[in-house]
């Protein structure tokens, strides 16, 4: 990219010699501009088609110093451009003051000006090359982010999601375990799929196991497989998920619900890649990459003695924190529009509907405890309820923000309402499996059935 040298000349001074020195030492394709006002300087810096080298006087006129007024405004426009403060005289103290204010360097005019400018240009040429390389890298990263988001339908352009996509890209080809942490409904499995299919393992299987939906006995045979005759009903040899995912990825969802006893069983597999089938004696090896996800606070579980620190250490080569929807700046409205468009594409009868401004405002004020999954359900339900072409707050049916933190009714009625929410959420996570839902809530199967029936 071409470089523009912008020299700000203060009133009652002549910087013609400075301009000539820069013109003599600059590259042939660099432009040198002598400017008489800060307004001209700001307009030049705003041109993003060029890189800029900015030269400003230490004193702008009438005793006003550049380090207190001009430099902060320049840095607000361009945080990276080389910025040089120049003065007729000065030493270490003046140079240090300019650098503290945001300058890159300090140039003393006077004797041997051209030699000093030549030295300065030589130093800054390398900095400009670094800035250019970083810009190209940023552009390349943006293309990669866009391709990952388009391929895996990860919608949103918030800073939080851009950082997440960068993490996915960075870790994809590093064959080490990944721990994905986030609240329910944030899309942890989608992130795991994006990592797998962006890696060199994309041609091999990705297998998902919901650790919360299976008892230890079932989880053991599910993951390790079993030999023929290992237990009653084991009429044939069965290969476990560690074998089936060999060369690919094994995604252990809701690992925070795994019992301590079973954590100890998979610790060796995660560390060494070796295991034994149930009822077998031969040690088998798997090259499956392990990814795990949880909505639990594993540090709290470790402190309480419910999660093995060693297992956490082995799973957390990289920890990806999926942000909750309420913290994704600007993404709620974008996602709402996306889900409405997807629903209309799936069911043409709902085409032509739009979200009213007041409906969007209500969505923005909502906390979304169920995150992206909850927003998708809300939008699809609102489109179904709407009898016009404009979705309103009545179609969305959210509680007002001040009501979201309280419930009406007596103490007992509020407790029952909260219990209904817990049961409904557990059944949703367990995909209708009551035994799995009971384990999610820390209840026995009989206790869960009692509360399920009592609370409707």
pLDDT in tens, 311-329: 999 999 999 999 999 999 8
Q: Pick the residue with more confidence: 450 or 209?
A: 209
Give the chain's mean pLDDT.
87
Quick: pLDDT tens for 367-411.
Answer: 899 999 999 999 999 999 998 889 998 899 875 444 444 445 666
pLDDT in tens, 35-47: 988 888 888 888 8
What is the pairing mode between strands 390-391 and 354-355?
parallel
Q: Which residues touch 105 (CB under 8 Å, ≥6 apart)?
A: 82, 84, 85, 95, 99, 120, 123, 124
Write down the pLDDT at residue 54.
92
- What would the mean pLDDT of 432-453 be, rounded to a whole number? 80
Q: What is the C-alpha separation between 296 and 183, in angstroms, rounded?
A: 8
pTM for this entry: 0.60
Tens digit of pLDDT for each residue in 86-127? Answer: 998 888 888 888 888 889 899 998 888 999 899 998 888 888
Q: Is the pLDDT of residue 144 over 70?
A: no
- Distance separating alpha carbons of residues 338 and 189, to the nearest angstrom: 19
Question: What is d(CA 117, CA 112) in angstroms, rounded to the nearest whole number?
Answer: 9
Q: What is the pLDDT confidence band of residue 456, given thresholds at 50, 70 and 90? A: low
Neighbour-count burial for 111-146, b at 16+ CB within 10 Å, e otherwise: eebeebbeebbeebbebbeebeeeeeeeeeeeebbe
């Amino acid at each position: 990219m071409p470089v523009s040298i912008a020299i700000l000349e203060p009133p009652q001074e002549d910087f013609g010699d400075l301009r000539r020195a820069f013109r003599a030492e600059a590259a042939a394709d660099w432009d040198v501009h002598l400017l008489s006002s800060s307004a001209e300087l700001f307009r030049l810096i705003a041109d993003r088609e060029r890189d800029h080298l900015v030269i400003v006087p230490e004193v702008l006129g009438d005793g006003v110093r550049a380090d207190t007024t001009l430099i902060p405004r320049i840095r607000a426009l361009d945080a990276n451009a080389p910025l040089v403060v120049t003065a007729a005289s000065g030493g270490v103290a003046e140079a240090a003051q300019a650098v503290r204010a945001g300058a890159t360097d300090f140039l003393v005019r006077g004797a041997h000006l051209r030699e000093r400018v030549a030295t300065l240009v030589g130093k800054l040429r390398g900095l400009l090359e670094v800035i250019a390389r970083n810009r190209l890298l940023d552009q390349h990263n943006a293309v990669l982010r866009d391709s990952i988001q388009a391929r895996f339908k990860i919608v949103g352009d918030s800073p939080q999601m851009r950082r997440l996509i960068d993490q996915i890209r960075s870790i994809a080809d590093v064959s080490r375990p990944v721990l994905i942490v986030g609240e329910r409904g944030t899309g942890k499995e989608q992130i795991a799929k994006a990592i797998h299919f962006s890696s060199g393992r994309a041609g091999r299987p990705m297998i998902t196991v919901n650790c919360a939906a299976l008892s230890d006995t079932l989880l053991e045979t599910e993951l390790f497989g079993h030999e023929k005759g290992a237990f009653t009903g084991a009429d044939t040899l069965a290969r476990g998920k560690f074998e089936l995912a060999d060369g690919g990825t094994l995604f252990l969802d809701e690992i925070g619900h795994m019992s301590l006893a079973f954590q100890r069983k998979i610790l060796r597999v995660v560390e060494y890649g070796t295991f034994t089938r149930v009822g077998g004696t031969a040690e088998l090896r798997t090259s499956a990459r392990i990814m795990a996800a949880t909505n639990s606070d594993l540090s709290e579980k470790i402190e309480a003695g419910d999660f093995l620190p060693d297992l956490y250490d082995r799973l957390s080569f990289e920890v990806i924190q999926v942000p909750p929807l309420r913290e994704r700046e600007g993404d709620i409205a974008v996602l709402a529009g996306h889900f409405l468009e997807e629903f209309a594409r799936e069911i043409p009868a709902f085409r032509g509907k739009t979200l009213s401004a007041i409906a969007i405002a209500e969505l923005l004020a909502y906390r979304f405890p169920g995150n992206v999954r909850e927003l998708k359900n809300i939008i699809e339900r609102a489109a179904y309820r709407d009898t016009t072409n404009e979705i309103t707050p009545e179609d969305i049916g959210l509680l007002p923000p001040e009501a979201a933190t309280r419930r009406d009714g007596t103490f007992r009625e509020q407790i029952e309402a909260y219990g209904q929410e817990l049961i409904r959420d557990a059944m949703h996570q367990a995909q209708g499996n009551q035994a799995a839902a009971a384990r999610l809530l820390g209840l026995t199967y009989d206790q869960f059935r009692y509360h399920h029936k009592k609370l409707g």
